[in-house]
């Protein structure tokens, strides 16, 4: 039996080496050079080509390289009988907490504006946005969302949280589906960490932005499809939002002619808020590979109905 690594535009050899350090006896194939499809029982995928998993008759399980699994759920080439899993490791939570905190601090202290002023050799001071005008609302309180909430609490921010079912996190005012409007009315800085599902696609739209407590700012570190792009542009033009920090986009890489590039009040990063470390993830992947061979439940197994 063998394990298959598949990713577009990414060198998977470091992943192969990390897995072999955990178990030197593993038989590992790296796409696109797959010698024997019949032997593959487990695949590790990220941004994989459509239908690339056609023709693997003995596939038992597929894991994402990261926390997101929408790319697996929408792949019709993966049979319903195949188990799905995701990678959830401590460093993903830490990195995301650091990224979101940094985005908030950049907004509060006008970092982007000062970068522009330096380019123009223009000296002008701006008063920081007061912390009391920076109540953070996190949409999505899974493992990463909950960790980000706790990270922000430690750094002195007031935090609200919203999720499909109500959670209990010390120090965080939590809301469920029915409390969305109240959650938004208490929130200045909206952070999206939701899984991408049919229900959450397009959730970041104008009506939501208008319900935020001004001054309002958006941080999207979930998926680009959560955001209605034209609504963001309108919200910025009409001062419904003061700005946005976007790490994810509907089309990646973001096209060079996209409107977002020319917006000084949109901070853009290339899907780097939280990156999976091969060395840290290898043990989890090997464990799930062995579990799939034994037919037992995977760690971080995905519920196809829920979408996460």
Active site residues: 223, 271
Cα–Cα nearest to 43, from 240, 235, 71: 71
What is the Cα–Cα distance from 190 to 85, expressed in whole angstroms?
A: 28
Cβ atoms of residues 151 and 97 within 8 Å: yes
Gyration radius of the chain's alpha carbons: 21
Torsion angles phi and psi, residue 245, rounded to 5: -120, 120
Cα–Cα nearest to 91, from 276, 300, 269: 276
């Amino acid at each position: 039996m063998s394990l298959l690594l598949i990713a577009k535009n990414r060198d998977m050899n470091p992943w192969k080496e990390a897995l072999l350090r955990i178990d030197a006896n593993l038989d590992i194939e790296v796409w696109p050079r797959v010698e024997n499809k019949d032997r593959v029982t487990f695949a590790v995928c990220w941004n994989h080509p459509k239908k690339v998993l056609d023709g693997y008759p003995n596939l038992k399980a597929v894991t994402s390289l990261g926390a997101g699994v929408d790319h697996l759920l929408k792949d019709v080439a993966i049979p319903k009988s195949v188990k799905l899993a995701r990678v959830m490791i401590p460093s993903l939570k830490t990195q995301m907490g650091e990224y979101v905190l940094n985005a908030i601090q950049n907004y509060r202290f006008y970092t982007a504006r000062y970068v522009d002023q330096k380019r123009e050799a223009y000296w002008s001071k701006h008063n920081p946005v007061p912390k009391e005008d920076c109540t953070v609302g996190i949409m999505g309180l899974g493992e990463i969302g909950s960790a980000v909430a706790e990270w922000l609490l430690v750094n002195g921010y007031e935090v609200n949280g919203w999720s499909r079912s109500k959670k209990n996190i010390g120090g965080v005012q939590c809301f469920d589906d029915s409390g969305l409007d109240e959650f938004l009315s208490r929130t200045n800085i909206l952070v999206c960490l939701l899984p991408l599902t049919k229900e959450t696609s397009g959730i970041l739209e104008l009506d939501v932005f208008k319900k935020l407590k001004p001054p309002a700012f958006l941080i999207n570190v979930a998926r680009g499809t959560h955001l209605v792009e034209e609504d963001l542009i309108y919200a910025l033009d009409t001062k419904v939002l003061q700005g946005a920090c976007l790490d994810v986009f509907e089309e990646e890489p973001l096209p060079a002619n996209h409107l977002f590039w020319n917006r000084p009040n949109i901070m853009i990063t290339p899907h780097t808020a939280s990156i999976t470390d091969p060395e840290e993830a290898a043990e989890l992947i090997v464990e799930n590979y062995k579990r799939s061979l034994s037919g037992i439940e995977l760690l971080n197994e995905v519920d196809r109905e829920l979408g996460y």
